Chains A and B, each alone.
Chain A
């Protein structure tokens, strides 16, 4: 009697072929992108989205072609921070053009599609059982976004990932070995511990770990024009990957994010300089040969 592998095709639907075709469309759509960089952490609330947007701004200020894909479908923040809420989606000859910020960063965020008063929801044949299918559906949506929008010729496509160490690894699996990871932490033992789990999990796969950024590394007091400590954490565990820089907390940065004000308006502040430094480190690392 024939076995599964003796039979070509599945007799009609060609499910595996359809999945392969989806993957081919994604690969084709990203063919013009030089670097794919996922900004993750594992820990929530450490400033992944803020850093993603402002690093993109710093890189854009150097003339690079940058796009951001806000992969946090359930808590999208890039639309508001980048000022593309309610942006117009214009169909091109085959794909959809991406909304752009005033300084020319292409941004896709679910926040441009779904109002903040609503949650992402999917119609389902198995309502009430979303734990059995939801992650699969979200990755299918990510694939559709990658395949359907005009990413074009880019120097960097940055993915703003949702929290969760296991989610970080799922994105690595889905996005494939071309995607490098930049992790974000804050100077607290709890945050470092969670990020260390992400490092451990990602280290098992083929994706390159570019390093980490320590966000909220002190706060910038504008009155004193000085960086002061924000966390007291003398013995913070090491992450075992390069530190690409530290960025202090600055209430002005939060105001920029809420108001969709671009990076360039940060000017010559300590935060602006720190972000510019991290951006340069990121570029240098991307252009260097992987160490493993």
Chain B
């Protein structure tokens, strides 16, 4: 979808995306010629159509990527968050709390590269793998050891 400022015959630029409200996004465009601003207010179907494509809505950042993630903004987080008890942010149903495991920045960065829907499982599994070896820190060596151990 594109917007054209008719008096200026100039394509309008996306300025900001408002937080979702009951399934609606407020997306503000402005004309770079006359400065006229307008907002596109999506209905839930339109919001969901974009969310289902797995794309983000937002003004481009310096790097060219949209700065606002519509799937996140629309409550997307993780598609399975409502159903997997061990997801990030959810309370795991454990009776005894195991010792916390730290993640080094490099290991955490690797974890961040993987899809949100497997991230919580990966975190839990790797921490268990580390604990079973008497370790309370996950670094890249542990990740490599896990790959080797499971024949990956």
Binding site for B on A (CB under 8 A): 1-2, 4, 7, 9-15, 18-19, 22, 87-100, 104, 113-114, 118-126, 129, 132-134, 136-137, 140-141, 143-145, 148, 150
| Mask: chain B, 103-146; 1 = CB below 8 Å from A; 0 = not | 00001001101110110011001100100000000000001001
Partner pick for A94 among B44, B78, B113, CB 8 A cutoff = B113
Contact A123 B76 (CB under 8 A): yes
The number of residue pairs between A and B whose CB atoms lie closer than 8 Å in the complex comes to: 179
Q: Which residues of B contact A137 (CB under 8 A)?
A: 51-52, 54, 79
- Quick one: given A123-B79, A126-B45, are A12 and B20 in contact (CB under 8 Å)? no
Besides A2-B11, A12-B59, 19 more A-B contacts (Cβ < 8 Å) are A1-B9, A2-B9, A10-B1, A11-B3, A12-B14, A12-B57, A12-B60, A14-B64, A19-B55, A90-B126, A91-B126, A95-B113, A114-B84, A121-B80, A123-B81, A124-B48, A125-B47, A132-B48, A144-B54
Chain A interface, >50% SS class: loop
Q: Is the CB of A4 within 8 A of B2?
A: yes
Complex CA distance for A14 and B84, rounded to whole angstroms: 32
Residues of B within 8 A of A15 (CB): 1, 50, 53, 55, 57
Pairwise interchain contact B45-A122, C-beta atoms closer than 8 A = no
Nearest A residue (CB) for B14: A12
Residues of B near A150 (CB, < 8 A) are 152
User: B59: nearest residue on chain A (CB-CB)?
Assistant: A12
Q: Measuring CB to CB, which residues of chain B are less than 8 angstroms from any residue of chain A? A: 1-4, 6, 9, 11-15, 20, 23, 29, 44-45, 47-60, 64, 66, 70, 74-84, 107, 110-111, 113-115, 117-118, 121-122, 125-126, 129, 143, 146-147, 150-152
Bound-complex Cα distance A96 to B114 (A): 6
Tell me if B51 and A125 are in contact (CB < 8 A): yes
Smallest CB gap from B148: residue in A: A90
Query: Which of A1, A87, A97, A125 touches B74 (beta carbons < 8 Å)?
Result: A125
Smallest beta-carbon distance B35→chain A, Å: 15
Residues of B within 8 A of A124 (CB): 48, 51
Give the complex CA separation of A9 and B44 in angstroms: 24
Is B118 within 8 A of A123, CB to CB?
no
Whether the pair B122, A96 counts as a contact (CB closer than 8 A) is: yes
Q: In whole angstroms, how far apart are the Cα atoms of A198 and B14 in the complex?
A: 44
CA distance A100 to B44 in the complex (A): 40
- When distances are taken between beta carbons in the complex, the residues of chain B under 8 Å from A140 are 52-54
The winner among A89, A95, A113, A118 for most chain B CB atoms within 10 A is A89
A170 to chain B, nearest CB (A): 14
Q: Contacts A91-B111, A125-B44, A125-B48 given: A7-B2 contact, CB under 8 Å?
A: yes
CA distance A226 to B18 in the complex (A): 69
Q: Could you tell me the distance between the alpha carbons of A11 and B4 in the complex, rounded to whole angstroms?
A: 10
The residue of chain A having its C-beta at the shortest distance from the C-beta of B54 within the complex is: A140
State A125–B77 Cα separation when bound (angstroms): 12
Closest to A104 in B: B151
Name the B residues within 8 Å of A144 (CB-CB): 54, 115
Q: Which residue of chain A is the closest to B45 with respect to CB atoms? A: A126
Contact of B48 among A97, A98, A100, A129 (CB under 8 A): A129
Given A100-B150, A113-B121, A124-B48: A22 and B11 interface contact (C-beta under 8 Å)? no
Cα distance A74–B6 in the bound complex, in angstroms: 47
Establish whether residues A136 and B52, one from each chain, have CB atoms under 8 Å apart when the complex forms.
Answer: yes
Alpha-carbon gap, A121 to B4, bound state (A): 38
Closest 4 CB pairs of A and B: A12-B14, A140-B54, A97-B152, A125-B23
